[in-house]
């Protein structure tokens, strides 16, 4: 009886921590325009009153459809070293309103990195992508890989880390249940539950590591120029391979001076000048 109480208590603890991780993910993924300046993560050095003033001014300008003023204010916060999914999301919305789709896509992507499970950010990004001129066929993906990615992106790096730690704690408890339980039924339950929790621990740890790696990825970029000719080599006199337009997402694979070698979604490669793209 005592063993069963311990087991159920630990299981309740795991479920509570998992719910807390989900709540953390939800807090990190609030995509609606906000007037709460405290949600903006500080890089230090600026007074809270000054930050609140700029934040309120930006949101007020946005509500009043003064999008250029809102953009200037949001960018002030970024230049001061502040960053959050809400800040990036609001700035992306302002850019979208004034028709600067490349900048909008850039900041929607930055917001999505901080809140990968946020449906609003992803929806607005999809809408913004429809305004790009380049319609690049994406290489088909195995359905199971896509499903695993969608599960991983339901929570952020921090939330998956919490789930991983909770799974590890419960894993040790289940091992003890298997070793110490006197009844065969409890030993069987402990054994199979240990295997299941081991899978949860491995998966959540892998998801946390992958989310962290993607958060720090500096290879993805967005085309900022209205149009750019992709060259066969890092030389203005080289052959034009194809043309990309503002808002198209690319991945940089190498660099040489002021040139970057890029790959687009369909696998085509080429070189562009660094000034024509901006890293996500």
Q: What percent of the chain shows pLDDT beyond 90?
A: 48
115 phi and psi, to 5 degrees? -140, 70
pLDDT at 20: 46
Q: Is 117 within 8 Å of 175 (Cβ atoms)?
A: no
* Strands annotated E in 213-276: 220-223, 227-231, 240-245, 249-256, 259-263, 269-273
pLDDT tens for residues 43-101?
A: 444 577 788 889 999 999 999 999 999 999 999 999 988 889 999 999 999 999 999 99
pLDDT at 9: 52
Most confident of the following: 12-21, 29-38, 95-104, 132-141: 95-104
pLDDT tens for residues 227-271?
A: 999 999 999 999 999 999 999 999 999 999 999 999 998 889 999
| pTM metric for this prediction | 0.71
* Strands annotated E in the chain: 220-223, 227-231, 240-245, 249-256, 259-263, 269-273, 277-279
């Amino acid at each position: 009886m005592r063993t069963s109480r311990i087991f159920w208590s630990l299981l309740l603890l795991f479920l509570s921590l998992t719910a807390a991780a989900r709540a953390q993910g939800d807090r990190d993924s609030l995509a609606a325009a906000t007037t709460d300046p405290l949600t903006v993560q500080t890089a230090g050095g600026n007074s809270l009153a000054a930050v609140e003033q700029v934040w309120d001014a930006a949101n007020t300008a946005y509500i009043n459809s003064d999008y250029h003023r809102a953009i200037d204010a949001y960018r002030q916060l970024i230049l001061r070293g502040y960053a959050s999914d809400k800040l990036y999301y609001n700035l992306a919305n302002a850019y979208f309103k004034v028709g600067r789709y490349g900048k909008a896509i850039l900041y929607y992507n930055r917001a999505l990195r901080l809140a990968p499970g946020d449906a609003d950010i992803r929806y607005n990004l999809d809408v913004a992508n429809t305004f790009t001129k380049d319609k690049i066929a994406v290489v088909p993906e195995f359905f199971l890989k896509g499903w695993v990615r969608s599960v991983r992106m339901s929570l952020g790096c921090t939330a998956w880390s919490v789930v991983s730690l909770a799974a590890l704690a419960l894993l040790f408890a289940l091992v003890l249940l298997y070793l110490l339980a006197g009844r065969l039924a409890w030993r069987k339950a402990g054994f199979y539950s240990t295997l299941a929790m081991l899978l949860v621990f491995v998966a959540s740890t892998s998801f946390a590591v992958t989310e962290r790696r993607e958060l720090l990825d500096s290879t993805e970029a967005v085309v900022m120029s209205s149009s750019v000719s992709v060259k066969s080599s890092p030389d203005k006199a080289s052959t034009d391979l194809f043309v990309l337009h503002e808002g198209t997402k690319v991945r940089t694979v190498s660099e040489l001076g002021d040139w970057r070698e890029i790959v687009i979604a369909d696998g085509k490669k080429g070189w562009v000048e660094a000034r024509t793209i901006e890293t996500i």
